[in-house]
Amino acid sequence: MNSETRSDNKRTLTRLVVVAAVMFGFGYALVPFYQKICEVTGINNLLNADDPVRSTQVDTTRRVTIEFDANTHGLPWSFKPGQASVTVHPGELVHVKYLVQNTRDRAVTGQAIPSYGPQLAGQHFRKLDCFCFARQTLGAGEAKEMPVVFVIDPALPKEVNTITLSYTFFEVAGTATATAPEPRKPGV
């Protein structure tokens, strides 16, 4: 290999290493890009209040059952819905409560994430007020009633007559436990 080829090779090597490094950065750049796309297109808008329904006409010809579910993920909290289910008319303003208690002897901060079953009901489930819009901090042993105010959009497809609203409380990093939780045994 003559010296000319050798220096050409070095130049190509440098360029390709730069490309590889840039692509590693590009992988990370996809994270803010993804969040921006979700924000602009309104996908994944879980933690903000929805626009209120424009038509306030209550559709009394339909009844929709709303079932409530509550879970915690790595939080020492007892968390349950104040009511198993309610039956409502689309367009009607509904107030419900969730009950939560911190079972740990110090303050813990959590964030609730909602999800809906069936999934497509989510876009017709207009939450006007929700404890999931903000982080919640509970002092040692503190118990709280937390409200959700929502309207079911009358545009909800006809075939949907039951909606499950499920919340999962996640720990806000580092507040619940100083040590990692026990790994879950397989099969449990």
Partner 1 sequence: MEAANVHVHGAHDAAHGHGHHPTGLMRWVTTTNHKDIGTMYLWFSFAMFMVGGAMALIIRAELFQPGLQYVSPEFFNQMITLHGLIMVFGAIMPAFVGFANWMIPMMIGAPDMAFARMNNWSFWLLPPAGILLTASMFVTGGAAGTGWTLYPPLSVQMGMGMDMAIFAVHILGMSSIMGSINIITTILNMRAPGMTLMRLPMFCWTWLVTAYLLIAVMPVLAGAVTMILTDRHFGTSFFNAAGGGDPVMFQHIFWFFGHPEVYIIALPAFGVISHVIPAFARKPIFGYTSMVYAIASIALISFIVWAHHMYVVGMPVAGQLYFMYATMLIAVPTGVKVFNWVATMWRGSMTFETPMLFAIGFLFLFTIGGFTGLVLSMTSVDVQLQDTYYVVAHFHYVMVAGALYSAFAGVYYWLPKWTGHMYDETLGKWHFWLSFISFNAAFFPQHFLGLAGMPRRIPDYALQFTDFNQVSTYGAFVFGLSQLLFLYVVLKTIRGGEKAADKPWEGATGLEWTLPSPPPHHSFEEPPILK
Binding site for partner 1 (CB under 8 A): 1, 5, 8-9, 12-13, 16-17, 19-21, 23-28, 30-31, 34-35, 38, 41, 43-44, 73, 110-111, 113, 119, 168, 170-174, 183-184, 186-187
Of 83 and 155, the one with the shorter C-beta distance to partner 1 is 155
In DSSP terms, which residues pair with 165 in a beta bridge?
Answer: 68, 116
Which of the 8 DSSP states describes residue 170?
E
Of 15 and 106, the one with the shorter C-beta distance to partner 1 is 15
Of 105 and 186, the one with the shorter C-beta distance to partner 1 is 186
Q: Distance between CA atoms of 184 and 188, rounded to whole angstroms?
A: 7
Of 4 and 61, the one with the shorter C-beta distance to partner 1 is 4
CB 155 to partner 1: min, Å: 17
CB 8 to partner 1: min, Å: 5
Asked if residues 120 and 157 have their Cβ atoms less than 8 Å apart, the reply is yes
CB 61 to partner 1: min, Å: 29
CB 113 to partner 1: min, Å: 5
CB 150 to partner 1: min, Å: 20
Of 1 and 84, the one with the shorter C-beta distance to partner 1 is 1
Of 61 and 184, the one with the shorter C-beta distance to partner 1 is 184
C-alpha dist (Å) from residue 36 to 28, 42, 46, 62, 92: 14, 10, 15, 38, 33
Residue among 54, 34, 33, 52 nearest 44 (CA): 34
Asked if residues 138 and 186 have their Cβ atoms less than 8 Å apart, the reply is no
Q: Distance between CA atoms of 140 and 105, rounded to whole angstroms?
A: 4
CB 78 to partner 1: min, Å: 18
Which of the 8 DSSP states describes residue 83?
S
Asked if residues 69 and 86 have their Cβ atoms less than 8 Å apart, the reply is no
Asked if residues 152 and 126 have their Cβ atoms less than 8 Å apart, the reply is yes
